[in-house]
């Protein structure tokens, strides 16, 4: 594939520097040209052969329609809910993503967020730094995680990696998904509300998009209850964020640890004002090793398509 001609590749949204560097070595990267210079984009658009995207990128039918030579949308990320896959398919454009290489990283973060919320780690850090330990003595007591009940919403690649780790904490594990997985040693519960009612921790790890929008609503949060902790490492859209803020403020829900938000990177001030909420800036896969593996896979997909070779990891709709 080393002899592939250099082609224009449109980078949409803020591309990972690792993915961008690989593209620049072999091609001409037009970094968000459609947003930064519409006139130059209009000139370049007919020649653009590939779109490089991230997990939170948006590529709609309108943009696809403006790229007549487009062959591939390569997403560096496993979630592709921002891509109009139907519009792409209708034009013969393939969409690829980067599953599996980030399972460990996202599962590690989920466990970290569960511990951070249960043991109040960010609050403990603030307690020491602000001098309260010295002034007031011990911190209020926290919650035990080992041996408690985990409810997983989503039991795919990453959900299974989280469950595997949770077993080492002696947790009892139940899950919901679109269908039961008879081969797995965990209890399937068809309804999210019923799952929440029987869980101490409800961890979300489904795709985003229309199919899961507000899957976790006020009723589910009430079922999880004043001792329950919600952990979201899926997508912000899966949770009704306004209902979440209400539930936390009113003590209907015990706590939350969130890596993703409905309107990222904007996070509601009311949410940030709550001491029993742990927040992270969408860092599920954000380590050097994993981001490099994702960039390598996203680039390999792009090169494979341009060379007319089989794709490594097309999204299921394009497989
Ligand atoms: P996956 O293997 O496709 O698993 C997705 C799981 O969600 C499956 O078990 C699926 O059920 C379930 N699901 C889908 N729609 C559902 C619905 N309406 N109700 C209940 N369950 C539903 O995907 P993955 O590789 O584990 O990744 C999952 C998601 O994690 C990604 O799509 C992305 O949104 C998110 N993610 C976030 C980060 C981060 O940085 N925070 C990083 C990576 C991924 P079935 O098995 O029955 O189909």
Tell me if 214 CB under 6 Å of ligand 1.
no
Phi, psi torsion values for 307, nearest 5 degrees: -90, 0
pTM over the 0.85 mark: yes
Beta carbons of 221 and 251 less than 8 angstroms apart: no
Instruction: List, in sequence order, every residue forming a beta bridge with 201; answer none if it has no partner.
Output: 150, 229
Residue 149 to residue 170: CA distance in whole angstroms: 9
Q: Inform me whether the pLDDT recorded for 60 exceeds 70.
A: yes
pLDDT at site 273: 97
pLDDT band at 2 (very low <50, low <70, confident <90, very high): low
| Residue 282 is among the residues annotated as catalytic for this protein | yes
Give the span between the Cα atoms of 139 and 100, in whole angstroms: 40
The pLDDT of 146-162, averaged and rounded, is 98
CA of 78 to the centre of ligand 1 (A): 9
> What would the mean pLDDT of 71-81 be, rounded to a whole number?
97
Stretch 134-156: mean pLDDT, rounded? 98
Q: What is the mean pLDDT of residues 138-165?
A: 98
Query: For the chain, how are helix, strand and coil distributed in percent, rounded to 5?
Result: 40, 15, 40
Distance (Å) from CA 315 to ligand 1 centroid: 13
Ligand 1: atom nearest CA of 260 is 41
Task: Give distance in angstroms: CA of 199 to centre of ligand 1.
Answer: 19
Q: Please determine, for residue 1, whether its predicted confidence score (pLDDT) is greater than 90.
A: no
34 assigned to active site: no
Q: So what's the pLDDT on residue 3?
A: 79
Round the average pLDDT of the chain to a whole number and report it.
97
Task: Assess whether 214 carries a catalytic annotation.
Answer: no
Q: How far is CA 286 from the centre of its chain?
A: 11
Alpha-carbon gap, residue 294 to 76, rounded angstroms: 6
Is the torsion defined by CA of 181, 187, 192, 194 positive or negative? positive
Contacts of 212 (CB under 8 A, 6+ apart): 206, 234, 235, 237, 238
Q: What angle do CA 184, 210, 166 make, to 5 degrees?
A: 30
By the 8 A CB rule, do 55 and 63 touch? no
pLDDT score recorded for residue 259? 98
Q: What number of other Cβ atoms are within 10 A of residue 85's Cβ?
A: 19
Cis peptide leading into residue 265 (ω within 30°): yes
Kind plus residue range of the DSSP H or E element containing 182: none
Going 255 to 261 to 267 to 268, the CA torsion angle's sign is negative
The structure tokens 């961890």 sit at: 203
Task: Tokens for 168, please give them.
Answer: 């080492």
Residue 5 pLDDT more than 70? Answer: yes
Q: Is the predicted pLDDT of residue 30 greater than 70, yes or no?
A: yes
Burial of 13 (0-12, 13-18, 19+ CB in 10 A): middle
Query: Which one of 235, 241, 262, 305 is the catalytic residue?
Result: 235
Q: What SS3 class is residue 231? A: strand
Judge whether 211 and 177 are in contact, CB under 8 Å.
Answer: no
Q: CA–CA separation, 118 vs 307, rounded Å?
A: 50
- State the pLDDT at residue 56: 87
How sure is the predictor about 4, in pLDDT bands with cuts at 50, 70 and 90? confident
Q: Both tokens of residue 128?
A: 């020491």
Query: Under DSSP, is residue 84 helix (H, G, I), strand (E, B) or coil?
Result: coil
Measured on CA atoms in the order 303, 308, 313, 315, is the torsion positive or negative? positive
Share of the chain above pLDDT 90, in %: 97
Q: Write the DSSP string, 100-167.
A: STTHHHHHHHHHHHHHHHHTTHHHHHHHHHTTHHHHH-SPPP----TT-EEEEE--SHHHHHHHHHHH
Is the CB of 203 inside a 6 Å radius of any atom of ligand 1? no
List phi, psi (to 5°) of 32: 50, 35
């Amino acid at each position: 594939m080393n002899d592939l001609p250099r082609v224009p590749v449109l980078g949409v949204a803020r591309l990972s520097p690792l993915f961008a560097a690989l593209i620049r070595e072999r091609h001409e990267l037009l970094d968000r040209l459609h947003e930064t210079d519409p006139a130059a984009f209009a000139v370049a658009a007919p020649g653009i052969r590939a779109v490089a995207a991230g997990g939170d990128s948006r590529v709609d039918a309108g943009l696809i329609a403006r790229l007549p030579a487009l062959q591939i949308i390569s997403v560096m990320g496993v979630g592709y809910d921002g891509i109009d896959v139907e519009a792409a398919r209708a034009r013969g454009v393939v969409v690829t993503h980067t599953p599996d290489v980030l399972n460990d990283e996202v599962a590690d973060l989920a466990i970290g967020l569960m511990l951070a919320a249960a043991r109040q780690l960010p609050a403990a850090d603030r307690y020491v730094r602000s001098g309260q330990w010295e002034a007031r003595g011990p911190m209020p007591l926290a919650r035990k995680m080992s041996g408690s009940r985990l409810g997983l919403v989503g039991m795919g690649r990453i959900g299974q990696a989280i469950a595997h780790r949770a077993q080492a904490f002696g947790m009892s594990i139940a899950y919901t998904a679109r269908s039961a997985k008879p081969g797995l040693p965990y209890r399937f519960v068809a309804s999210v509300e019923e799952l929440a009612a029987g869980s101490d921790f409800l961890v979300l790890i489904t795709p985003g998009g229309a199919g899961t929008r507000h899957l976790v609503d006020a009723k589910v949060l009430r079922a999880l209850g004043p001792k329950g902790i919600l952990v979201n490492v899926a997508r912000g859209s899966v949770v009704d964020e306004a209902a979440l803020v209400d539930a936390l403020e009113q003590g209907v829900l015990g706590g939350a640890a969130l890596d993703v938000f409905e309107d990222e990177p904007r996070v509601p001030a009311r949410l940030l004002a709550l001491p029993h909420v742990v927040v992270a800036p969408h860092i599920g896969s954000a380590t050097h090793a994993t981001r490099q593996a994702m960039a390598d896979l996203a680039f390999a997909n792009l090169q494979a398509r341009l060379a007319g070779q089989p794709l490594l990891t097309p999204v299921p709709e394009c497989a």
